[in-house]
Amino acid sequence: MDRMRPLWSSSSPPSQGERKVLVSRFGAALRELGPANFLYCDGSTLFAHADRRRQSDGSISAPGLWRLARQCPAGGELSAEGLRIASEAGEQEVVLIASVPLSDEGWTPLAEGELLIARQGCVQRTSDPGH
Per-residue pLDDT at 7: 78
pTM of the model: 0.81
Q: What is the pLDDT of residue 58?
A: 96
From residue 112, alpha-carbon distances to 12, 60, 105, 126 in Å are 33, 11, 22, 12
Chain segment 69-93, per-residue pLDDT in tens: 988 776 666 677 777 776 666 778 8
In a domain, 16, yes or no: yes
CA distances from 120 to 34, 43, 69 (A): 31, 10, 12
Task: Indicate the number of domains in the chain.
Answer: 1
Query: Is 20 within 8 Å of 114 (Cβ atoms)?
Result: no
Within 10 angstroms of residue 63's Cβ, the number of other Cβ atoms is: 22
